[in-house]
Amino acid sequence: MIERLWLQPPLAFARLGPSSVPCDSYRYGPSDLTPRGSGKTTVVPDVTLDLAEDGTLSERMPQDVQFKDGAGWRPICPYFELHGSWTVDGKSGTGPVTEQVLADSGLSLADVRWEVSVANLKAHHITQQDGDRIEARADLAGDDHRRHTLEGRSPRDARQPLVPSGVSLPLGSVQLPAPNAELPELRLRFTPGAGFVYGPQGHDPESGYELPPERLILNPEAAWSGFKATDDDFRTAPVLLFAGAERSWRSLGLVDDVCDGTVSVSLSGGPTATARIVSAPPRFSPDRRPFVSLADGLADRVQRADVHDSAYFEDEEQTALEVRDLFERVLETMSGVNVDVQNERSAGSNVRLANYLSLSPEDARALAFPPPQPLLGLLLGLTELGRRRHRRFVALEVLEDMIRERRELIQEQVRAPAQADGPGAVTLASPRFYTRQMPSGMRGSDAYPMHLTRRQYDLLVGWADQLREDTEPDS
């Protein structure tokens, strides 16, 4: 009898792409740290599962990874694999669920039910009108290996549904591979949308957003078509994140085909399992890892206390690897950022905030980096200087020597997370202002200057303290 089910992974990210060929699997390889290397992470192909239209599943090892082809970006199409625990004839087992595991419990593929439910609620989030919801659902029996389109529709009982009756907005598709002797596990594959934008019927091509006629399917009378933001209700951070906002604060009624939702599976009269799926834009720089990732955020939630224990830093090799990985990701992020432009944006934000708070705009401007002296042959002087400096930090010994010489280096140069304004009037010391502390010139999701997670910051501080403790006095 199968007693428990779960899906691996419990959370997966699909990435949009108009190509009909999914992107091959890949993993991160070692950084190129040769004398003339980039210092950035390499991308290495990994075992890839190919799913045919009839559900046939096969395995291969690609020679390289191709992210785009003539049609555009190749989509990232994740698989969900069903796992479970069971007891058969008094013997307990756990692992991937296969047809044999089902048969041992008196079940077949037909007794397995899958349900995929996704939605695009961007327009609804802003208008708060039920008619602007776009939702799709697919129900599949375990022995159904056809591809099923996720047809996004708006509630039929809404007064003005964004997706009118008789049409649908495709949010992707799902398919169950047929198990075979080489790949017997039960899986579901999610394929995201193509990354298209859809608009209302009668959309004005002079609006600056030209769409093909076949994608002008939305209701021009829906609340989202013509929604106008007010100066005290922006709904999003940053504000005005919709087409048309840049001209009149009025929505043009455009919608893309991203979505998120759940993948659920159940056995007839037995347990169920649920995982989450998120459809996201393409990874435009797949070899550049963010220095604050989803994994960092989750670790901050459940493992923050680890770095508050001095014993954590006794494993110097493991701690150094974690710190080096962070600085490698900082370098990779910086290699894709125009620091000069971001610095000027930050300085301008400081000036506007200072004027609003009746503080000195000149002093607020000076909190950011001054425009650098031009470097021979280089247009982006600040960007190049930053990359050169961070390239040195990948050799962790350089940073270690700096910390041994300056005990408070981390606190001085790295922005502390989750700071709040002090009591009394707001001053230029407020965390609302962009400064030269790292990460410099980057905006966080809370509309304040970006910072590391608390765990990352405390890791750096604890690591630096340990380095100082191991340093000979007066050295």
Q: How far is CA 441 from CA 51, 298, 316, 446, in A?
A: 44, 24, 32, 14
- The Cα–Cα gap between 65 and 53 comes to 22
Q: Read off the tokens for 88.
A: 């058969």
Rounded to 5°, the CA angle 182-188-192 comes to 125
CB neighbour list of residue 62: distance below 8 Å, 6 or more residues apart: 24, 25, 45, 48
Token digits of residue 155? 């509630």
Calpha distance 275→260 (Å, rounded) = 11
pLDDT value at position 307? 93
Q: Burial level of 387, CB count in 10 A (0-12/13-18/19+)? A: middle
Asked if 121 contacts 236 with a C-beta cutoff of 8 angstroms, the reply is no
- Specify the higher pLDDT residue, 370 or 188: 188
Which residues face 148 on adjacent strands? 174
Per-chain mean pLDDT for the chain: 91
Counting beta carbons within 10 angstroms of the beta carbon of residue 388, is it exposed (0 to 12), middle (13 to 18) or buried (19 or more)?
exposed
Of 77, 95, 69, 154, nearest to 119 (Cα)?
154
pLDDT tens column, 275-327: 999 999 998 888 888 999 999 999 999 999 999 998 999 888 899 999 999 99
pLDDT of residue 427: 87
pLDDT (tens digit per residue) in 400-447: 888 888 888 999 999 999 777 777 778 888 889 999 999 989 988 877
| Among the ranges given (52-61, 132-141, 381-390), the one the predictor scored with the smallest mean pLDDT | 381-390
Rounded Cα gap, residues 307 and 194, in angstroms = 42
Could you tell me what percent of the chain has a pLDDT over 90? 67
φ, ψ of residue 348 in degrees (nearest 5):
-65, -40
Please state the pTM of the whole predicted model: 0.89
Task: With H, G, I as helix, E, B as strand and everything else as coil, classify residue 108.
Answer: coil
DSSP state at residue 203: -
Least confident of 88-97, 391-400, 436-445: 391-400
Q: Which is nearest to 331 in space by CA: 19, 32, 4?
A: 32
How high is the pLDDT of residue 376?
66
The whole-angstrom separation of Cα 384 and Cα 379 is: 9
Max distance between CA atoms of the chain, in angstroms, equals: 79
What percent of the chain clears pLDDT 70, i.e. is strictly above it?
A: 95
